[in-house]
Amino acid sequence: MSGRAPALAVLWPAERAGEVVPGEDAERGEPALRALYGLPGTAPGGRWVRANMVSSLDGAAWGPDASTRSIGSPADLRVLKLLRAAADVVLVGAGTVRAEGYGLLRAGTELAVVSRSGRLLGGQGLLRAERDDGRSALVVTCAGAGAAALADLRAAVGDERVVVAGDEQVDLPRALGALAERGLRQVLCEGGPALLRDLLGAGLLDELCLTWSPLLAGGDAGRLLADGGPLVRPARLAHLLHAEGTLVGRWLLG
Amino acid sequence: MSEPTTGGSTLTEGLPPALAEIVDDFNAVSERDRLQLLLEFSEGLPALPERYAEHLELMEPVPECQSPVFLLTEVDDDGVVHLHFSAPREAPTTRGFAGILREGLDGLPAPELLATPDDISSRLGLERAVSPLRLRGMAGMLGRIKRQVREKTAA
């Protein structure tokens, strides 16, 4: 993907409408964009959980290729990079890791894969044995994965890289607590829809960053949130930006 | 247990007058308007006095809120309690709860503040719109306020 960074125009809040976060000159543009996505500092024991998702206009969370690549855009990518750089850890479901082909992130941002079954994700450079630098993903799982799977997992990523939280299901409050104890307090969740639903349902999500790409996707793609019964949460718009037809918003849920 | 009731004396039972008025206000309007009201309390939370603004280390963190919230109580020579909160604008729900506690409890004599029922967060009619975790954050704030006041008034 090219490094082209399109300018982003502020549409909302109204009093800032017309401001433009410069595009090509990333040196000038990034501080302005960072300020728009600024986070409160984290208190001892505190954390911040933000989700970043992309959607087609008709609400598809991925395109016909079963990944977000077909519905993303340069503007989306620009924000995604910024949010990753601002995060201590990117939290993502195992299904999304497979669908999107995640690799490890730049040094400074951990990748934590949530997997109830604890099944290994080999061949993507996420395991210690696959890498020269000895890094690996963190794996968040539960006791229900079973002793054998947990042992395999520990062998593959290292003992200290496995977070076991919960019995039959991953206990997300405990998992986030365990990540915070490692100093990973600024959490960026990139889906998928089941993980996002669970975070929201547990009241753990502080904000949603959502990009609407200017296209319709049809098909049988899922929504941003997997079904888990009725759930209504108010969201307050913090800002709405525009670039090349793409709308980029930030909503506060906390 | 949490059947919605309106203008019920049970909802305001045992509350200091300012807090009772807030609880009445919340229960007099629709769920949607309650969220708007909460936002107004969020916006109405006063800034920290300068002596604390640069010295959050003097304040007590409230990990139950999960977002970075700090609070401090002062009990003056007349035994009146003053409350100070730092809550991020990025967390309007939590900040709104801080705003409610500030408006409802600031300026009370210590014994009256200590008599405030602990279940205040469940009297606002927000159980469906706000997650239990956030509501527990409000209870956490009240618990820490009371503990500080108890410590500061212990002879």
At A111-145, the pLDDT tens digits run: 999 999 998 778 888 999 888 888 999 999 999 99
DSSP conformational letter for A40: P
Out of B39, B61, B89, closest to residue A44 by CB: B61
Q: What is the pLDDT of residues A149-184, one digit of tens each?
A: 999 999 999 999 999 999 999 999 999 999 999 999
How would you label A84-100 residue by residue, b for 16+ Cβ within 10 Å and e otherwise? bebbbbbbbbbbbbbbb
- In the predicted model, is pLDDT for residue A97 greater than 50? yes
CB of A156 closer than 8 Å to CB of A137: no
Q: What's the topology of domain A48-87+186-217+234-254?
A: Dihydrofolate Reductase, subunit A (3.40.430)
User: Do B28 and B6 touch, CB atoms closer than 8 A?
Assistant: yes
* ipTM field: 0.72
Which pLDDT score, from 0 to 100, does residue A3 have?
59
Continuous H helices in chain B: 9-12, 17-27, 31-44, 50-53, 92-105, 110-114, 132-153
Indicate the range of A185-199, A206-220, A224-238, B26-40 predicted with least confidence. Answer: A224-238
**Residue type at position A12:** W
User: Which tokens hold the place of A153?
Assistant: 């997992």
> Where do runs of H (alpha helix) occur along A10-89?
26-36, 74-86
CB-CB under 8 Å, A234 with B61: no
Report the C-alpha gap between B72 and B145 in whole angstroms.
7
Residues A143 and A150: their CA atoms lie apart, in Å, by: 8
Put simply, the answer to whether B90 touches A44 (Cβ < 8 Å) is no
Residue B1 is predicted with a pLDDT of: 45
How sure is the predictor about A25, in pLDDT bands with cuts at 50, 70 and 90? low
CA atoms of B86 and B108, how far apart (whole Å)? 20
CATH number for region B14-153:
3.90.1010.10
Name the residue in chain B with its Cα closest to that of A251.
Answer: B90
In sequence order, what are the beta bridge partners of A139?
Answer: A113, A162
Q: Please report, for chain A, the start and end positions of each structural domain, with discontinuous segments joined by +.
A: 48-87+186-217+234-254, 99-183
Contact state of A43 with B134 under an 8 Å Cβ cutoff: no
Cβ <8 Å between B61 and A206: no
Could you give the angle at the alpha carbon of B113 between the alpha carbons of B110 and B116, nearest 5°?
155
Interface contacts (A, B; CB < 8 Å) = 70
Non-local CB neighbours of A163 within 8 Å, separated by 6+ positions = A112, A138, A139, A140, A141, A175, A178, A179
Q: Which residues contact A101 (CB under 8 A, 6 or more apart)?
A: A67, A124
Between the alpha carbon of residue A89 and those of residues A61, A105, A122, A164, A192, the distances in Å are 22, 9, 20, 17, 16
B93 to chain A, closest Cα gap in Å: 5
Residue A46 has its nearest CB partner, among B67, B131, B133, at B67
A186-189 and A48-55: which strand pairing?
A: parallel
Q: Give the integer Cα–Cα distance in Å for B88 and A210.
A: 21
C-alpha–C-alpha distance, residues A244 and A73, integer Å: 9
Model-level pTM?
0.86
Structure tokens at B41: 């309390």
A155 — phi, psi (to 5°)?
A: -65, -35
Highest mean pLDDT among B31-40, B47-56, B110-119: B110-119
Cβ distance B61 to A47 less than 8 Å, yes or no, reads no
Beta-bridge partners for A239: A250
Task: State the virtual CA torsion across A203, B127, A169, A88 in degrees, nearest 10.
Answer: 10
- Chain B nearest-CA residue for A204: B133
Q: Spell out the domain ranges in chain B.
A: 14-153
Q: What letter does residue A210 receive in the DSSP assignment? A: E
Nearest CA in chain B to A208: B90
